[in-house]
């Protein structure tokens, strides 16, 4: 195993206090109407940032704090990848604890969580997505969930994802996406309020359109877009998914 990678393989474990809070919250919101695929919990609802039930299903899981995007990604991984069966080293860029924990519980997965700072135990490697501190072709699979819309030089980040992935490996990428138009970006828009109005959030530097496929292909990836509409309506409702969470499945040629 490569040296840099070996150092980054650690187990994400929350503090006892945070685990106790999530456990108690999971108990308080236990039910059978909804289901979180990330933690396999039956729920009576999803919650908002402050822990109250939200009227629609698009909220946080009270048990593992997954967002709709993470539940969509986990369902996608289960159905469309070999993450449950093959021995894989999986890199998650800007990791989220719910996904990190789910992956870490797979005996066949070695997990690496990359972020610019230590936001929680899910971060096992400090670094920038535009210059990932790993040797080339070292990971078998990677997740990049709602990251690229924050990165000014997204083409550099995409090239880095391609570089660290082994030939034949796969990457799952998702972003806020509008399927009916091209990407909207303007480097002159730097005011956070203006970015929020135009790109959806104050920290976003663009709003991606359907041409993200070409941006990913430009780095060498083979790309297939799995649309949110491919998820059955019953699953979408039960698992608290959004109607616009599309997934790009990218593969690096070779084997």
Scanning 51-59, 60-68, 135-143, 223-231 for contacts with Zn ion by CB under 5 A, the matching segment is 60-68
Contact by Cβ (8 Å): 34, 42 = yes
Scanning 55-63, 102-110, 136-144, 225-233 for contacts with Zn ion by CB under 5 A, the matching segment is 55-63
> Environment class of residue 159 by beta-carbon count within 10 Å: exposed (0-12), middle (13-18) or buried (19+)?
middle
239 lines the binding site for Zn ion (CB under 5 A): no
Residue selected from 5, 22, 61, 93 as contacting Zn ion according to rule CB under 5 A? 61
241 lines the binding site for Zn ion (CB under 5 A): no
Scanning 7-15, 53-61, 176-184, 200-208 for contacts with Zn ion by CB under 5 A, the matching segment is 53-61
Give the binding-site size for Zn ion (rule: CB under 5 A): 7
46 vs 111, beta carbon nearer Zn ion? 46
Residue selected from 12, 22, 46, 66 as contacting Zn ion according to rule CB under 5 A? 66
Contact by Cβ (8 Å): 251, 81 = no
Supply the Cα-derived Rg of the chain in whole angstroms: 18
Scanning 4-12, 37-45, 85-93, 190-198 for contacts with Zn ion by CB under 5 A, the matching segment is 37-45
104 lines the binding site for Zn ion (CB under 5 A): no
Residue of 48, 53, 57, 33 whose CA lies nearest to 241: 57
Sequence-ordered list of residues with C-beta below 8 angstroms from that of 89, at least 6 positions apart, any chain: 5, 9, 109, 110, 112, 138, 139, 140, 141
Residue 13 CA to residue 22 CA, distance in Å, equals 13
Q: Which residue has the tokens 């919101």?
A: 29
36 lines the binding site for Zn ion (CB under 5 A): yes
Q: Which residues are near Zn ion by CB under 5 A?
A: 36, 38-39, 61, 63-64, 66
């Amino acid at each position: 195993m490569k040296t840099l990678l070996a150092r980054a393989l650690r187990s994400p474990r929350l503090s006892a206090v945070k685990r106790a809070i999530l456990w108690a919250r999971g108990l308080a919101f236990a039910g059978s109407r909804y289901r979180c695929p990330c933690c396999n919990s039956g729920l009576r609802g999803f919650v908002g940032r402050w822990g109250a039930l939200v009227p629609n299903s698009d909220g946080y899981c009270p048990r593992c704090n997954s967002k709709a995007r993470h539940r969509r990604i986990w369902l996608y991984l289960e159905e469309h990848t070999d993450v449950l069966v093959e021995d894989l080293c999986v890199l998650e860029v800007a990791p989220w604890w719910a996904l990190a924990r789910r992956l870490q519980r797979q005996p066949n997965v070695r997990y690496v969580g990359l972020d610019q700072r230590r936001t929680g135990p899910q971060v096992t490697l400090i670094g920038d997505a535009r210059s990932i501190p790993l040797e080339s072709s070292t990971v078998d699979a990677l997740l990049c969930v709602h990251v690229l819309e924050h990165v000014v030089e997204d083409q550099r980040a995409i090239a880095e994802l391609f570089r660290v992935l082994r030939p034949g490996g796969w990457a799952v990428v998702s972003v806020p996406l509008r399927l009916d138009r091209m990407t909207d970006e303007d480097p002159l828009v730097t005011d956070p309020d203006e970015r929020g109005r135009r790109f959806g959030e104050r920290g976003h530097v663009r709003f991606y359109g359907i041409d993200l496929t070409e941006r990913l292909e430009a780095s060498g990836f083979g790309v297939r877009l799995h649309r949110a509409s491919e998820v059955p309506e019953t699953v979408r409702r039960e698992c608290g998914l959004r109607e616009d969470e599309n997934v790009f499945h990218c593969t690096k040629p070779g084997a």
